[in-house]
Structure 1
């Protein structure tokens, strides 16, 4: 691919293999070639004969689907480039552990441990009051037993055991309390074994012997850094995408991979590199699909990334390209090439418009003067009109008077 094509302005808007010396009126051989089809239409070329159908092989060989041929590919000897239909990946995504699936964990409402704490506090106070460890206040009923009244508040072994049991129950109730806000879950493991996921929000109670890991399950978006990739023609590109995703399976995200955000970033770079190499960045030189077709590029990235991250418990909703630019080392060359292509197309449009305007002017002149010009006069007039339309500002060309052909319907002299 030639990315350094010179786009400097030429002396003429069209190339000529051999230019004859300019005549006094400024007409060129190319102008005649342009105006001749307007005067005399060429005969239509015969239609090409249909190519014979290929013979069916009789060998017992497995059938193989051939890739679609790019219409812009060279006709002789070159390998055909795959089109959009061949951009699908044929590699198999990693398999997930089928036994590792998210399941709900055992959790109780938070009001139960709070009630247990209140009852435990009341029970401890009652036991201590009966044992005489708490001094009796006047005006309150005396709940001390006979031993406590006789010993003067001495605590025996039974009282110590009862207070210890109630305190242990209160400690278990307090240690199992869990506050789970909205958009977050808790993955519970005990001694390395998965015990379930808590998705209920609010104040809950879980087993205090399990380990709790917080996982964000809200809908999240991530704007990637510029990723260096190359298109099908080998041109370096910089691509930036916006990814909308969320955690779907908390068990696989926590226990199946080391770090799910790092895994997602690495997969984004791999999918971008593989997808961008399927098509060229632009389709200026050759018609066909290109990476600039944002809808196809986004759909293909979403499909490929979702297939790669699904075994890890990550659900990808969309991948949208935010920027698709050439790398800095080739950006200037590609800009010059694009401007040269636009300049060539603009020149073609200008020449076509000038030819149509000249033909229309000649026809209106013939109708206005009621005289029909011959072929040579019409060709000379159109040449001069084309020179006047296409010539730069300040360049003038003399237009000779057209030769008038005698009318065919003249009467005989008297």
Structure 2
């Protein structure tokens, strides 16, 4: 199959587009039904007066008209629509709420345009670094094109659920779970960015079904059980290393500032050996995990 034929087949799957249906309010036709009931009563009166044939004709005609009109009634609730078909040919969608009426040979298929809320199952996915993670998402969507939702996909609810799973897997494999240095976008640290990209990804996938995605949010994100303990230890080690780096950087800055102030104010003259000893002592005090015990030197440094 060449490219032009494939694109033609794809366009054939997207021919359905919602358009307004030619229907009418049912309250006017309800008046017609009431008139037919009165006509049937009049026919009974005519039959009782002796004109049986005329009475039968009046009652029969009124009954047929009443049945014809009654078969065309349907009603729509708020945020509900009805797709109208004429022998399988799509004739439009009625979104007007209340009692409605159309010709009896037109088929009405109701569809909800209310907001739907779906939470996907917990999926096991390998993130960008190959680590197995568990991820789930909550998606809020609604039908905006009833013709596409009904006639371009077999079952739009199942279609959306499958596409949610596919999109979540794609996004989960696109980013790492975590980055202790915060130099790249991660699933755990940039939930808003990931959720927005998931929304865009999913919208592209469900556009063929006439669905609009209103919101996507990650509801579950964790390492898979088989590596959870190992990854926790790695996170703890990375956190300790990062903390140590900041501690050393701060200590070096403080020591440099102390030496500079002592030199500028001429508090004490330090040669290289005493300067090195002072730096060593300050670094021990500032970087130690435990409280240091002072040692008073009553002699000189060179003894």
The bucket for the TM-score relative to the shorter chain is 0.7 to 0.9
Once residues 250 and 393 of structure 1 are traced to their aligned partners in structure 2, the CA distance between those partners, rounded to angstroms, is: 69
Corresponding residue of 2:117: 221
Larger Rg: 1
Assess if the C-alpha contact under 8 Å between 1:96 and 1:312 holds in 2.
no
Corresponding residue of 2:186: 290
Once residues 117 and 184 of structure 2 are traced to their aligned partners in structure 1, the CA distance between those partners, rounded to angstroms, is: 32
3-state SS, counterpart of residue 188 of structure 1: strand
Change in 2 beyond 3 A, CA 1:360/1:201: same
Q: Which runs of 5+ in 2 are unaligned?
A: 1-9
Following superposition, the deviation at residue 366 of structure 1 comes to 6.5
* Higher RCO (CA-CA < 8 Å; seq separation 6+): 1
Q: Which runs of 5+ in 1 are unaligned?
A: 1-93, 133-143, 149-153, 405-414
Corresponding residue of 2:274: 377
Corresponding residue of 1:124: 40
Change in 2 beyond 3 A, CA 1:241/1:402: farther
Q: Choose from 333, 350, 354 the match for 2:230.
A: 333
Corresponding residue of 2:70: 174
| CA displacement, residues 283-313 of structure 1 (integer Å, 9 cap, x when unaligned) | 2268323333223312321222111111111
Assess if the C-alpha contact under 8 Å between 1:117 and 1:174 holds in 2.
yes
3-state SS, counterpart of residue 111 of structure 2: strand
Q: Choose from 187, 197, 203 the match for 2:93.
A: 197
Once residues 63 and 89 of structure 2 are traced to their aligned partners in structure 1, the CA distance between those partners, rounded to angstroms, is: 29
Once residues 203 and 286 of structure 1 are traced to their aligned partners in structure 2, the CA distance between those partners, rounded to angstroms, is: 59
Corresponding residue of 1:160: 56
Looking at secondary structure, tell me which structure has more helix per residue: 2
Q: Choose from 128, 134, 144 the match for 1:232.
A: 128
Assess if the C-alpha contact under 8 Å between 2:45 and 2:55 holds in 1.
no
Q: How does 1:91-110 map to 2 (within 5 A)?
A: 95=11, 97-110=13-26
Corresponding residue of 1:323: 220
Assess if the C-alpha contact under 8 Å between 2:75 and 2:100 holds in 1.
yes
Change in 2 beyond 3 A, CA 1:173/1:286: closer
Query: Does 2:163 match 1:267?
Result: yes
Change in 2 beyond 3 A, CA 1:229/1:96: farther
| CA displacement, residues 136-170 of structure 1 (integer Å, 9 cap, x when unaligned) | xxxxxxxx4xxx2xxxxx723x4323211110101
Corresponding residue of 1:185: 81
| CA displacement, residues 116-138 of structure 1 (integer Å, 9 cap, x when unaligned) | 11211221222221221xxxxxx
Looking at secondary structure, tell me which structure has more strand per residue: 2
Query: Does 2:238 match 1:346?
Result: no
Assess if the C-alpha contact under 8 Å between 1:230 and 1:237 holds in 2.
yes
3-state SS, counterpart of residue 106 of structure 1: coil
Q: Choose from 153, 164, 180 the match for 1:257.
A: 153
3-state SS, counterpart of residue 179 of structure 2: coil
Corresponding residue of 1:80: none
Once residues 402 and 369 of structure 1 are traced to their aligned partners in structure 2, the CA distance between those partners, rounded to angstroms, is: 22
Q: Cα RMSD between the aligned structures?
A: 2.8
Assess if the C-alpha contact under 8 Å between 1:388 and 1:397 holds in 2.
no
Assess if the C-alpha contact under 8 Å between 1:267 and 1:305 holds in 2.
yes
Assess if the C-alpha contact under 8 Å between 1:241 and 1:319 holds in 2.
yes
Corresponding residue of 2:3: none
3-state SS, counterpart of residue 354 of structure 1: helix
Once residues 368 and 191 of structure 1 are traced to their aligned partners in structure 2, the CA distance between those partners, rounded to angstroms, is: 99
TM-score between the two structures when normalised by the length of structure 1? 0.63
Change in 2 beyond 3 A, CA 1:288/1:399: farther
